[in-house]
Structure 1
Amino acid sequence: MIENCSGIDVLKYAKAYAICSVSSSERERQSDEVFSAIVDGKNLHFSMHNYGEMYKIPNLYDAMMYGLLRCETPFALAREFGRILFEHRVDPSTLRMLEVGAGSGAFAEAVRLAMPIGRMVGLDIIEEARVAAERDRSGIYDGYIVADLCALSWEAEAEIASLSPNCVGVASATGWNNHIPVAGFERAFSVLEPGGWFIFHVKPNDPDPECVALLQWIEAKVKTSYIVDSKRGRIFHRMSVNGEKIYYDYVVGRKQWAS
């Protein structure tokens, strides 16, 4: 049994929705995974990464990701970030985090359980994510922005500027052609205050072009000292629908101070 950061009984909902993986030897890519669930008496199939459809149904995403597939990323990443802050003697109550690819708020809730963080604002590209966060984890965010990081409106830019983030976090929003591209991460990094904390993770050794590009991007940031005081590690992300363990690498560090 994995830790459940939200109080949502993911196993209860997984049973209620009768969630089952739909495995196939023809589905080799992580983005092709499918699961089934019984919703309002109908047996429906969902693409693992069709977030808009999953978020419309209360707690379905949590039941699938944390109940069926035993995802541990939000909890493991939040714990590791807490340890790093302790090592650097940083008071988490001084942090103003912008969480990109926020989804329904699992990482935000894990962070709030791990530490007394100051403020936290979520950002996601789809309205369904904001609605799901407010419905399934009411009050977990101090604000929620629905926007495309690659094409921010002036209203979204103003909201981010008012937060003045000294921490930008991401959990499970990388790769597989339907997540945040490199340009989006570059934009998120640009709004981070100098000396602010950057939390990033990505699947290593993966042929997906976005994963390759993101690995190259974060490696360049560390190598050129745009990210300093960095710590790397590997955490168990989740199971695949075929029962294979998926691991992700993380990098946590500070944006270089202005010279």
Structure 2
Amino acid sequence: MAPTAVNGASSEHQHEVARRPPARAAATPPVDLDTARASLRLALPEPGSKYSQDDEWCVVAEPDGSWGEYRFHDYDRIFRVPGLYEKIFYDVLACDSPRFMVGLLRDALDAEGAGANTLRVLDLGAGNGIMAEELAAIGVPYAVGVDILPEARDAAHRDRPGLYADYHVADLTALPAAERDELAAHRLNALTVVAALGFGDIPPQAFRTAYDLVDDGGWIVLTIKDAFLQDTDTTGFGGMIGESIRSGALEVVRRERFQHRLATDRSPLLYEGIVARKRGPLAG
């Protein structure tokens, strides 16, 4: 199917441990993301074309004038291009998850008389720092990023320098003891994992490892596609999260179904947003 033009595409393709970021990253001037985003041209598949969420794609105009295809889960390639992540998911597909979930967290904190300035957040699947930016906007002073991709860390330092006290490139399904101790030394009392569960990017074991690093009574902020919480789920998240909620290990404070973003066919992608307190180990 021929792609459909979006935002200027040509008719040719109508689609108390605080380690600082490395010195080389801190010394690099921040990218002007607004300018980078505005300069990018991309096109989506025709509106009538239907793809599963983990097979979605677009084409992007390259500097040499050619057009390159990017699958949405090719995050390493996307993060290498300043502004491309924001262009695809925020400007074109209206992603709202970080803003929405930080709003839910703020409401939950306000209801309990807790201050955002007390949070020390582990941001799992941190990408290029959009969640950390939203957290900082409500007064969260301390965030530690974790992502499996070095391209994500590099993009965070490039696009949003200084937001993370520390950023680990790590596979949480096989975390060395020394790195686990290093993360634990941050005395984390909150976990955010937004728009990252259920498609193989962050498997259940990685989520469990991150959860175990958070103090008892800490805040858990997550989004997950509603299908992954059904009895028919095969990812492992349905049983883990569902049973943890039923047992009280996850004490739900706020839970809402919301539009995560649009699919490439312009239909809404609905997720569950959950803000909870950690009261015990995860089920399973």
Task: Calculate the TM-score normalised by the size of structure 1.
Answer: 0.89
| Deviation by residue 1:131-186 (Cα, 9 ceiling, x = unmatched) | 00010111111110110111112342122111121001111111223x11111111
Which residue type is aligned with residue 250 of structure 1? G
Distance change in 2, residues 1:14/1:90 (3 Å): same
Question: Which of 130, 134, 143 is 1:106 aligned to?
Answer: 130
Q: Is contact 2:218–2:278 with CA below 8 Å preserved after alignment? A: yes
- Cα 1:7/1:165, change in 2 over 3 Å: farther
Amino acid aligned to 2:234: P
- Of the three residues 210, 213, 223, the one matched with 1:188 is 210
**For residue 254 of structure 1, what is the aligned residue in structure 2?**
277
State the Cα deviation string for residues 27-79 of structure 1 (Å, max 9, x = none).
53100001111121221110011000111111111111111111011111111
SS at match of 2:227: coil
1:205 maps to a residue whose letter is A
Distance between the aligned counterparts of 1:257 and 1:214, measured in 2? 17
Q: Counterpart of 1:200?
A: 222
Residue 188 (structure 2) pairs with residue 165 (structure 1): yes
Asked if 1:43 is matched to 2:31, the reply is no
Q: Is the 8 A contact 2:122 2:146 kept in 1?
A: yes
- Which residue type is aligned with residue 77 of structure 2? E
1:184 maps to a residue whose letter is: A
Cα pair 1:98 1:165 within 8 Å, conserved: yes
Deviation at 1:81, TM superposition (A): 0.6
Counterpart in 2 of 1:86? Answer: 110
Q: Which residue of 1 aligns with 2:151?
A: 128
Q: Following TM superposition, by how much is the alpha carbon of 1:231 offset from its aligned partner in structure 2, in angstroms?
A: 2.1
Q: Do the aligned partners of 2:49 and 2:265 also contact (CA within 8 Å) in 1?
A: no
Quote the Cα distance in structure 1 between the aligned partners of 2:47 and 2:219.
40
Cross-structure match for 1:73: 97
Q: How does 1:130-169 map to 2 (within 5 A)?
A: 130-169=153-192
Establish whether residue 237 from structure 1 lines up as the match of residue 282 from structure 2: no
Deviation string 1:193-231 (CA, Å, 9 cap, x unpaired) is 011011111011357732xx2132111111111112532
Identity %, equivalent residues: 28
Name 2:85's counterpart in structure 1.
Answer: 61
Extract unaligned runs of 5+ from structure 1.
1-5
CA separation in 2, counterparts of 1:168 and 1:96?
Answer: 9
Alpha carbons of structure 1 residues 14 and 239: separation in structure 2 relative to 1, 3 Å: farther
SS at structure 1 position matched to 2:185: helix
Tell me the matched-pair count: 247
DSSP-derived class of the 2:179 partner: helix
Q: Which amino acid aligns with 2:205?
A: A
Deviation at 1:256, TM superposition (A): 1.0
Alpha-carbon separation, structure 1, partners of 2:32 and 2:111: 29
RMSD, aligned α-carbons: 2.1
Q: Which entry has the higher C-alpha Rg, 1 or 2?
A: 2
Quote the offset at 1:103 in angstroms: 0.5
Change (3 A) 1:19 1:60: same
The 3 A distance-change label for structure 1 pair 240 and 132 is: same
Structure 2: how far apart are the matches of 1:45 and 1:134?
A: 25
Aligned 8 A contact 1:147 1:153 in 2: no
**Amino acid corresponding to residue 147 of structure 2 in structure 1:** D
CA contact (8 A) 1:19 1:68 kept: no
User: 1:221–1:59: structure 2 CA closer, same or farther, 3 Å change rule?
Assistant: same
Query: Please, what TM-score do these two structures have when normalized by structure 2?
Result: 0.81
Range moving further from structure 2, 127-136 or 243-252: 243-252
